[in-house]
Structure 1
Amino acid sequence: MVNLVESKGLMTQADYARKLRPLLPPEAFLPDENYTWILLINLTILILGWGIADYLDRWHWYLLWLALPLALVMGNSVIVLLFSTHNIMHSASIKNPWLKRAISLLGLTMLWMPPTLWKAVHNREHHHQTNSLQDPDRNYLAEQPKTWGKWIQNQFVPSAEVNPILLTIGMAHSWGIHAFRNLSSVLLFNNGSTKYPVCAFTVSPADRQAIGWELLLMIGLHISILTWLDFHPIKLLLGYFLPIWIGHSGAMFYIYTNHMLCRMTSVNDPLVNSISLRVPKIFDVLHLNFSYHTEHHIFPGMNSDYYPLVQELLQTHYPDRFNLLDAGKVWQLMLQTPRHYLDENTFTDWSGTKSVSCPLSADWSSMNSKL
């Protein structure tokens, strides 16, 4: 019997999982070692890219544009490192905890995200409290203090008010701001009451120490890359900064469109607080089906190859509840709406003068037919 939260019309993640799991093949829930190989392959691509970039000072200036396709490939590898590590940390594909931690650290170094912090902010906080008051990945509330963290997010995040130039800059730097907010909050304070993150949380003393050591290792790895490239401006621009900017921008496109257009929910209902995207097939192949995000929130540890099958089941059993939109449409809606929550169903702007209902709160049986 489905446990329907009648007052809100919401269901829990467990409700969906309980109904859909018997309809899925057992192999969908087996550990997939391919995530580790994908991570290592893309780490190798980055290393080869830095090796090529080390020779850029010998290229004639009019040939430097040839490094742009290389930066694009390296940038995609940054995205894949994030998504493959994301899957590894959700699954049991690596059973040895120390090996899992080491592999995850390599995968998240280009994202400046210590794996112990990722486990806390993403696996623990975000997945269990998605788009609720306690979710560190949601939009800021209008009533939250106008701190530097909130101000920067207001300048960078896609909305009806955002400056296009700042949005472009923000695509490349918002991930860094997100990591810095949570890192500094945990390492410097760790009291759960810091005002500048979206939602502060705490970690244990042991995890706090682990985050500090992991961050130091990441700093050392980045310094090693910069030293390899001789701190040369052209090498750094085309071989280090540009791939990172491309990678962070691609990751942020997914992250923005996963939840930030949705309304807030006090009950963790993935079909209400998450969006799955329709993207060209090549991106699903490259990015491990990350566009199937509602499916992921129902079965976080599932082999992502089977998310299309989960989507078919959601379209069969919950056609009027499931948020499945073209990626371009979601982006368009984000640029037409403010980005702060006035309440759980309403967006407002920085000044609090606008009041715009969440476009996904409408009757989806009629709305989906138009999208």
Structure 2
Amino acid sequence: MQDLRSFGWYAAKLKPHLPKKAFKPVPARLWGGLAYLVVTVMGLLTIGLVDVSPLIYLPISLVIGTSFAALGFLGHEILHGTVVRKPWLRDFLGAVAFWPLSTGPKLWRKWHNLTHHVHTQHEEHDPDSWPTLERIMRSRLLRWVYKLPLPVRAFFSFCSLSFQFTVHSVNMFVVYLKEFNPRKRPAVFLEAILPWMTWIGLLVWVGPVKWIFMFLLPLLVANLIVMAYISTNHRLNPTTDVNDPLVNSLTVTVPKWVDVLHFNFSYHTEHHLFPGMSSKYYPEVKKLIKEHWPERYHEMRFDKALIALWKTPRPYQDRVLVDPSSGNVFGALGEGLDTGKLKNIARKEKNFKFVSSITKSKNQKVDK
């Protein structure tokens, strides 16, 4: 692995080359959020008030789901302070944007801004990092799961993207609630429970059939879209002790119109260098990164990144990815993963017996 640099080191090098306006909030981004909010409300009212065949509800439900996801992308930007700076307004607008995903602004800033961004891809401190083989082997259930063939695990892993964000958000609430000041915990709890009260109230009002199309299916669609991005952000990158975004983050490329719809969420390395900058300016940051450090920068077409995720296992062992069920070792980005040859990206290594012996040792230790 190359020498690691902190995100602050890169930012200091690039900041003089960026316009001053790039570091100011861009409230015009709210117009896009308003459009998605109108589409969402109109879709909900149409399904709720019009009695037709559920087949008619299906396309409306899918549109609502894509709007849920886009509002989440905007909420992410708002809560980084890149749209408005006043704390009360930032949190209010962030709460509205994250309402469909039922994630409160105080929890999100604690979990995402203050922890994930500070400790990105640190195997112990990043709440979003995938665990190491050593950690996985401490669990009897996970040891069983990782005996399954990689294609089977990949299938269920991709299916889980449709609910992974919601489940992880609830888990983060449980993990971080106790870390808030006792005087702030009621507000954090209220932010978490109010959206669910809304959606449960909707179930009581419209009944289970319409509720499926008004909330459950859109939530699954939103989870799938959001997690398709999030799962490519770091899970092909190695773990790092130093938070180096050019090593531990990946930018994916999508058609321009998708970037417009998703508020440039694809520019993830750029976001980790300048989380307080509006994503409107990330194309300029990308250009500068490729001028200064082209050999360190990771970018991949979105569909190829998803294919690479399907073909690689998730447990980390010494910064590479290992598959306990087959004994194959897969390079991470910058550690041997050849994104141009995704048909054959696994390799057998002689020293995998060492990894296997660790696995066996952990099994014996846990079984005692």
TM-score, length-normalised on structure 2?
Answer: 0.84
User: Given residue 321 of structure 1, which amino acid in structure 2 is its aligned partner?
Assistant: R
* Corresponding residue for residue 198 of structure 2: 221
Letter paired with 2:203 = L
Flag the 1:354–1:303 CA change in 2: closer, same or farther, 3 A.
same
SS at 1:91 equivalent:
coil
> For residues 82-101 of structure 1, what are the structure 2 equivalents within 5 Å?
82-101=72-91
Q: Which residue of 2 aligns with 1:199?
A: none
2:36–2:70: 8 Å Cα contact kept in structure 1?
A: yes
CA–CA distance in structure 2, aligned partners of residues 312 and 150 of structure 1 = 45
Q: 1:150 to 1:18 in 2, by over 3 A?
A: farther
- Give the structure 2 partner of residue 40 of structure 1: 34
Q: Name the CA shift for 1:146/1:368 in 2 (closer, same or farther; >3 Å).
A: closer
- Asked whether the equivalents of residues 120 and 243 of structure 2 are also in contact (C-alpha less than 8 Å), the reply is yes
**Residue 121 of structure 2 corresponds to residue 131 of structure 1:** yes
Contiguous gaps of at least 5 residues in structure 1: 1-6, 191-201
Query: How far apart are the structure 2 equivalents of 1:275 and 1:103?
Result: 28
Of the three residues 207, 214, 217, the one matched with 1:239 is 214
- 1:20 equivalent in structure 2: 14
Q: 1:68 aligns with which of 43, 49, 58?
A: 58
Q: Distance in 2 between matches of 1:138 and 1:80?
A: 23
For structure 1, which segment, 303-312 or 216-225, has the greater mean C-alpha deviation from structure 2 after superposition? Answer: 216-225
Residues 215-256 of structure 1: per-residue CA shift (max 9 Å, x gap): 22222222333344x2241x1222221111111100000000
- 8 Å contact 1:35–1:85 — kept in the other structure? no
Structure-2 change in CA distance of 1:78 and 1:150 (3 Å): farther
Amino acid at match of 1:303: S
Q: How many positions carry a matched residue from both structures?
A: 337
Tell me, yes or no, if structure 1 residue 289 matches structure 2 residue 283. Answer: no
The yes-or-no answer on 1:110 pairing with 2:100 is yes
Q: Distance in 1 between matches of 2:203 and 2:208?
A: 8
Q: Does the CA-based 8 Å contact 1:339-1:348 persist in structure 2?
A: yes
Q: Deviations over 1:332-366 (max 9, x none)?
A: 111111111123x12234x57635243312479xx
Whether the 8 Å CA contact 1:275–1:323 is kept in 2: the answer is: yes
Return the offset for 1:162: 1.6
Q: Give the match's secondary structure for 2:79.
A: helix
Matched ranges for 1:150-189 at <5 A: 151=142, 160-162=151-153, 164=155, 166-187=156-177
339, 348, 355: which one pairs with 2:322? 348
CA RMSD of aligned residues (A): 2.6
Alignment of 1:242-261 (within 5 A): 242-261=217-236
- The normalised TM-score by structure 1 is 0.83
List structure 1 segments (4+ residues) > 4 angstroms apart after TM superposition.
145-152, 367-371
